[in-house]
Amino acid sequence: MERLLPRQREPPQTQENSGQEGSYEPQRSLTRLLFSLLYLPVGLVSGILRFVSGILRIPLLSTFNFSPNYRITRQTYPDSRSAMRRWITSLEEETGAVNFKTATVAATGLDGRQTTPRRHTYPPTGSADESKILPDFFDGTYEEVLDACQKEGRIACVILVSAEHDDVAEFKRSTLTHPGFVRMLSENDFVVWGGDIRDKHSWDAAQKLQATTYPFIAFMALQPRRNHSSTSSSSTSTPVVTVLSRHYGPSIPESGPTSAQKLVHHLEHQLLPRVNPFLTRFRSQLEEREQDRIIREQQDRAFQESAERDRERIQARFRVEQEEAERSRLENEARFQEELRIQLEREKQANFQALRLQFRRWMRRCIVPTEHRGANGIRLALKLPGNTRVVRIFSSSSTLTELYAFVDTQLLPLNLQPESDPEHILEGSGSDLQKLENHIQSQAGDAESWWGFKLLLPYPRREIKWTGSVSLVETGLKSGEQLVMELTKGDTNSQHLSDDDYESDDD
């Protein structure tokens, strides 16, 4: 007996079967016959290599077939169930037999899709004696077969064939439809699973079972683990699904390793007497566990029914407390979120005002031009918040940015002396005026939000919006006009300034 091998690497992708179903063609074309004659020596060498690989159990050599008729036609299906149903249909067409489950449903009218262990009689009730019947193939995956062995204590029969092997056709007709073999599998509740290795799922199973010669049959069942460290042949550890026997080769009646007579004799006199005692005990344990589980469920149900009324009263009492606690929690959470939001907003505003204070001082030093003393100046009167009035004369070449910078610097407290103003605050090339305009346009976003105030002409009321690289002449401002400064958001540096706190060059 051998333990199941771990999952091996999946085979490389191969071309799909182009319409051929793996059956023998009734006639060969002349071209194919000529190629067969030309490749006869190569086919002879291929047969010898395959024979040697079957004896030595070398999987690599068994996969090579140098015959001109050989094609890698490993088909792919959406799942293993589709591949199994397709293979069962092809078996019915090749052998003229019907699946055991189909025959049972047709004879009794019952649904044969049971998933629990069941026993069937052979032949199915109402079936004709002369009809051929295939085993009850399980249409799940190979992993589900192993789960059935482990969870239900059943014996698995895995049948793998290859349409490229000459012994497969006779095996399908003689072994798979043999009444004695089918009866043995049915009455002992075997999990029968199989497929053609051209399908990917069957090919994976063949790699795990180390199948090299086809047809191939493996019997598996749950067995106790071997304890190699002691003289005892069994151990109390968890049992594992084990490969009990492998059978491969031709199905010659009476003598072939995969003939129905050989397999029935092996099952009846060797395999079943050897594994049935353990499986019987295992299934008895499963039944005991199931009974214990049912009793526990009944006890739990009775306890739940008796305690339901008490639970409802307790839940009704706690529901009010929970609602009150939840309401209090939500209020505290909302209060905390609001306080956190206000704190973050204050910190953000403080950081912004600190940065703006540095910008005002830098603009007072580097951006605000000196007052024009010539005859062609533009004299503007600025009314600040708090009814403070400042008069300034700009040159005709002054820009709107210089005007805004001058107005912004009026918010500086008088205790900040110009001697300590920073000389550099923005990096980059160009003049300080260009750096400031680029900063407002690219990084600060909305210019009105960055400046924090508006400049308005009172009569008629018109806003002088900031625009980069625009001169005062282009805005339409004339000498002698009065501008009104309106704060758009609370400026903390200007809220506590009185009329005498504003900086003024000329009043």
Domain ranges of the chain: 2-17+26-279, 367-487
The secondary structure element, H or E, covering residue 104 is helix 100-108
Low-confidence ranges of the chain (pLDDT < 50): 5-28, 60-74, 76-77, 112-119, 125-128, 230-235, 492-507
Q: What is the pLDDT of residue 426?
A: 85
Q: What's the pLDDT tens digit per position in 251-261?
A: 888 888 999 99
Q: Scanning the structure block, which residue is given the tokens 């009035």?
A: 389
Inter-residue long-range contacts of 224-233, CB under 8 Å, 24+ positions, other chains counted = 224/278
CATH of domain 2-17+26-279: 3.40.30.10
CATH of domain 367-487: 3.10.20.90
Q: What is the pLDDT of residue 496?
A: 38
Q: At what angle do helices 30-38 and 40-56 cross, to 10 degrees?
A: 60
List CB contacts of 85: < 8 A, sequence separation 6 or more: 139
The secondary structure element, H or E, covering residue 329 is helix 272-366
Q: At what angle do helices 200-209 and 80-95 cross, to 10 degrees?
A: 90
CA-wise closest residue to 390 among 368, 374, 362: 368
Exposure string of 218-235, with b = 16+ CB inside 10 Å and e = fewer, is bbbbbbbebeeeeeeeee
Confirm whether pTM is higher than 0.75. no
Q: How far is CA 473 from CA 408, 447, 485, 506, in A?
A: 20, 21, 19, 22
Give backbone dihedrals phi and psi of 17, rounded to 5 degrees, phi first.
-70, 130
Q: How far is CA 443 from CA 139, 362, 431, 436, in A?
A: 67, 18, 17, 10
How far is the C-alpha of 459 from the C-alpha of 462, rounded, in Å?
8
How far is the C-alpha of 289 from the C-alpha of 222, rounded, in Å?
18
